[in-house]
């Protein structure tokens, strides 16, 4: 009897173990490809193959995400008389227009770039700042936090940047959900976002694949940007969204050009800030260059060998621009 029971147990335990191992292996492989080559295995495979291989992980992801807080697209605007923070932010009926499904924008002319926006002021007093993003932010955040801590010892700052993350694939790390949690838990006053090179890949939304680049991809990507901006706006938290500089690789370069359009357009709609890094590091409308000529006529290497990240010199240029942006937003 015990032998039969053992055989019955093995008949379902072995396939279950195989399924678990397969899910873990596929998850690890996709994370490695995302971190090393900025590729999504799930998005790169033919749709029928991806549906079959990733069905278990999609199901598990859906179970985990059930009951997650849903972002409400309503905005609590600051009062016209000042920037005083209410005890409880009350949402009002005035809402920004949501993104629309439209044709992809035409490329910018050579030398042009998506301009920056500075539309908001920080509330007076000590700031509580969250730095969110992928490996782009991992290079910038420590420099900015070190400088701000020296200037403002009473400020509270958290670096939440994580490599190989983004907005396209949220089952490994859900930026909109995590930022919303941090806003509520830490009573933040400012969120700084810098991400994007991992995102130019097909996007799966409610079981539907939106190829990159396509109008459907741009629309759903803008919705995920809006999840972050709306969560911040409801709590009267300011946001500074950093745009991407020039990229060497074709797909990432094409993505950065489209992403910057989305970042700036949604920031403008929500009354948030957009900090353009193209004038600092390199414009997407011009050929990629690792070096620039500084004011003294010396060649300055700004880019790492991968054509994505920055050297210390490049990071310092972004750090200085972000510090200046924050200082200009501080009310006397």
State the SS3 of 58-112.
HHHHHHHHCCCCCCCCCCCCCCCCCCCCCCCCCCCCCCCCCCCCCCCCCCCCCCC
The ranges of the chain annotated as CATH 3.40.50.1110 are 73-329
Q: Write the pLDDT tens digit of every residue in 151-202.
A: 999 999 999 999 999 999 988 899 999 999 999 999 999 999 999 999 999 9
Tell me, what DSSP letter sits at residue 189?
Answer: S
Q: Reply yes or no on whether the pLDDT at 209 is more than 80.
A: yes
Taking the C-alpha atoms of 243, 249, 253 and 256 in order, what is their torsion angle to the nearest 10 degrees? -40
Q: Which CATH superfamily is domain 73-329 in?
A: SGNH hydrolase (3.40.50.1110)
Q: Reply yes or no on whether the pLDDT at 50 is more than 60.
A: no
Is residue 7 very low, low, confident or very high in pLDDT (cuts 50, 70, 90)?
Answer: low
Q: Reply yes or no on whether the pLDDT at 272 is more than 80.
A: yes
Place of tokens 């009951």: 67
């Amino acid at each position: 009897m015990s032998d039969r029971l053992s055989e019955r147990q093995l008949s379902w335990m072995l396939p279950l173990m195989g399924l678990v191992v397969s899910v873990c292996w596929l998850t690890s492989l996709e994370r490695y490809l995302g971190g090393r080559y900025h590729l999504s295995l799930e998005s790169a495979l033919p749709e029928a193959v991806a549906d079959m291989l990733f069905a278990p992980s999609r199901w598990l992801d859906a179970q985990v995400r059930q009951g997650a807080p849903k972002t409400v697209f309503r905005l609590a605007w600051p009062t016209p008389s000042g920037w005083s923070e209410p005890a409880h932010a009350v949402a009002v009926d005035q809402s920004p227009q949501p993104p629309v499904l439209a044709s992809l924008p035409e490329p910018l002319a050579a030398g042009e770039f998506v301009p920056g926006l500075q539309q908001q002021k920080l509330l007076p007093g000590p700031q509580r700042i969250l730095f969110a993003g992928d490996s782009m932010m991992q290079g910038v955040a420590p420099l900015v936090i070190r400088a701000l801590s020296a200037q403002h010892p009473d400020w509270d700052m958290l670096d939440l940047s994580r490599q190989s993350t983004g907005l396209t694939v949220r089952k490994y790390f859900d930026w909109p959900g995590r930022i919303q949690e941090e806003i509520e838990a830490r009573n933040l006053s400012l969120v700084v976002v810098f991400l994007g090179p991992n995102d130019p890949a097909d996007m799966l939304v409610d079981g539907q694949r939106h190829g990159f680049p396509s109008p459907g991809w741009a629309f759903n990507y803008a919705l995920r940007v809006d999840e972050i901006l709306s969560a911040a706006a409801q709590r009267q938290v300011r946001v500074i969204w950093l745009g991407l500089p020039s990229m060497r690789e074709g797909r990432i370069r094409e993505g950065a050009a489209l992403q910057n359009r989305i970042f700036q357009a949604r920031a403008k709609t929500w009354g948030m800030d957009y900090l353009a890094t193209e004038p600092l590091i390199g414009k997407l409308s011009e050929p990629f260059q690792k070096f620039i000529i500084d004011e003294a006529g010396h060649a300055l290497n700004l880019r790492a060998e991968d054509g994505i990240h920055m050297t210390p010199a490049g990071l310092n240029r972004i750090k200085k621009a972000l510090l200046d942006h924050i200082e200009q937003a501080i009310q006397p």
